[in-house]
């Protein structure tokens, strides 16, 4: 997959992306990450990329021309059908479904928003996706871009050691992941649940499923509305106080 990130802070890249799974994917050629300085597409000698907002109000707005032209230059390299993601707290909240959709594409452009925001014509006429990584405001879209690249990279075939570890991922199943334990079986008087040491695989699977259900019910009840639940799951949840809305 080829990803071009457009940013006012190119020094922030590759940053943490050079470590771990993404770093390996880049070294192995599964992921190519290009970084474009939006300022290189400014029109004046001051390399201006922002301006006051029409209508008044605090905060500067990213000008459309450098963003459009940087994106068009990136698309000339990647192909005109590459999706264009604009990071913004005003966007649709990123979830694993959106990550799957974007991971199918051979190429992607990510525009990192900054300042008070980006001229709305970018969202209206250039971006195919406006994406927020959560209900909080960061100073810029660079970390959200890294979050998106990291999440995408896990889904590229061959990037994660065993595809099992992607398929069982929290959220991929529609539920939060069950608890995990490793050796030692007793640490500071806290022992691993007996069932995990029993060797009874059917019982282990049942325990894990129930733990996932309980955890999701307690921490993210919103996910239960759309999770694929078996009648036995619903019965278990009801027995533990869950009432479907």
Rounded to whole angstroms, the Cα distance separating 214 from 178 reads 9
Window of 50-58, 135-143, 179-187, 192-200 that interacts with ligand ADE by CB under 6 A:
135-143
Window of 18-26, 132-140, 151-159, 234-242 that interacts with ligand ADE by CB under 6 A:
132-140
Q: Is 7 in the site for ligand ADE (CB under 6 A)?
A: no
CA distances 7 to 67, 86, 224, Å, are 9, 11, 37
Work out how close the CB of 81 gets to ligand ADE at its nearest, in angstroms, rounded to a whole number.
24
The tokens for 52 are 């006051």
In the bound state with ligand ADE, the residue whose beta carbon lies nearer, of 71 and 88, is: 88
In the bound state with ligand ADE, the residue whose beta carbon lies nearer, of 66 and 141, is: 141
- Strand 2-7 relative to strand 32-37, pairing: parallel
Q: Distance from first CA to last CA of the chain, Å, rounded?
A: 41
Nearest Cα residue to 223 out of 174, 156, 167: 174
Q: Is 132 in the site for ligand ADE (CB under 6 A)?
A: yes
Burial of 219 (0-12, 13-18, 19+ CB in 10 A): exposed
Work out how close the CB of 95 gets to ligand ADE at its nearest, in angstroms, rounded to a whole number.
13
Q: Is 138 in the site for ligand ADE (CB under 6 A)?
A: yes
Q: Is 66 in the site for ligand ADE (CB under 6 A)?
A: no
CA distances 85 to 6, 45, 112, 122, 192, Å, are 10, 28, 9, 10, 43
Nearest Cα residue to 207 out of 218, 198, 238, 241: 198
Q: Is 6 in the site for ligand ADE (CB under 6 A)?
A: no
Give the 3-state secondary structure of residue 186: strand
Rounded to whole angstroms, the Cα distance separating 151 from 96 reads 8
Q: Is 88 in the site for ligand ADE (CB under 6 A)?
A: yes
Work out how close the CB of 206 gets to ligand ADE at its nearest, in angstroms, rounded to a whole number.
38
Q: Is 148 in the site for ligand ADE (CB under 6 A)?
A: no
Q: Is 89 in the site for ligand ADE (CB under 6 A)?
A: yes
Q: Which of 41, 85, 113, 214 binds ligand ADE (CB under 6 A)?
A: 113
CB 7 within 8 A of CB 36: yes
Q: Is 133 in the site for ligand ADE (CB under 6 A)?
A: yes
Window of 26-34, 58-66, 86-94, 190-198 that interacts with ligand ADE by CB under 6 A:
86-94
**Interface residues with ligand ADE (CB under 6 A)?**
87-89, 113, 132-134, 136-138, 141, 144
């Amino acid at each position: 997959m080829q990803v071009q990130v457009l940013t006012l802070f190119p020094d922030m890249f590759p940053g943490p992306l050079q470590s771990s799974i993404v770093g390996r994917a880049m070294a192995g050629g599964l992921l190519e990450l290009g970084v474009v300085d939006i300022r290189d597409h400014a029109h004046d000698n001051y390399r201006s990329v922002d301006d006051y907002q029409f209508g008044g109000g605090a905060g500067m707005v990213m000008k459309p021309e450098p963003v459009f032209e940087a994106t068009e230059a990136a698309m000339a390299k990647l192909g005109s059908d590459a999706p264009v993601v604009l990071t913004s707290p005003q966007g649709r909240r990123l979830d694993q479904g959106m990550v799957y959709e974007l991971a199918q594409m051979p190429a992607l452009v990510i525009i990192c928003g900054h300042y008070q925001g980006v001229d709305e014509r970018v969202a209206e006429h250039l971006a195919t996706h406006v994406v927020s990584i959560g209900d909080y405001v960061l100073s810029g879209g660079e970390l959200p871009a890294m979050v998106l690249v990291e999440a995408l990279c896990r889904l590229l075939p061959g990037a994660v050691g065993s595809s099992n570890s992607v398929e069982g991922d929290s959220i991929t199943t529609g539920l939060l992941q069950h608890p995990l334990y490793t050796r030692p079986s007793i640490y500071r008087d806290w022992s691993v649940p007996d069932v995990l040491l029993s060797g009874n695989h059917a019982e282990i699977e049942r325990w894990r499923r129930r733990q996932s259900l309980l955890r999701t019910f307690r921490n993210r009840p919103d996910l239960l509305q759309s999770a694929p639940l078996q009648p036995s799951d619903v019965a278990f949840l009801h027995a533990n106080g869950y009432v479907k809305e």
